[in-house]
Amino acid sequence: MAVLYWSLVALMVVGIVGAVVPGIPGVSLILAGIVIWGAVNGFSSVGIPLIVAIAVLVCSLGIDFLATYWGAKKAGASNWGQIGAIVGLFLGFFGLLPALPFGGPLLGILLGPLLGAIVGEFLYRKDIMIAVKAGLGIVVGSLVGNLIQGVLAVVTVGVFLYTTFPGAMSS
pLDDT tens for 113-135 read 788 888 888 888 888 888 888 88
Q: Is the pLDDT of residue 139 over 60?
A: yes
Asked if 147 contacts 9 with a C-beta cutoff of 8 angstroms, the reply is no
Give Cβ neighbours of residue 118 (< 8 Å, ≥ 6 apart). 81, 84, 128, 131, 132, 134, 135
pLDDT score recorded for residue 67: 79
Helix/strand number for the chain, H first, E second: 6, 0
Q: Residue 51: how many CB atoms within 10 A of its CB?
A: 12
* Residues across the chain: 171
pLDDT tens for 12-46 read 999 999 888 766 778 888 888 888 988 888 777 77
Please state, in angstroms and rounded to a whole number, the distance separating the CA atoms of residues 76 and 73: 5
Total count of domains within the chain: 1
What is the pTM for the complete model shown? 0.73
Kindly state the helix (H) or strand (E) to which residue 2 belongs, with its residue range.
Answer: helix 2-20
- Between helix 128-170 and helix 27-41 the angle, nearest 10°, is 20
Q: Residue 80: how many CB atoms within 10 A of its CB?
A: 18
Domain that holds residue 10: 2-170
The helix/strand/coil state of 103 is coil
Please state, in angstroms and rounded to a whole number, the distance separating the CA atoms of residues 66 and 123: 24
Mean pLDDT of the chain: 81
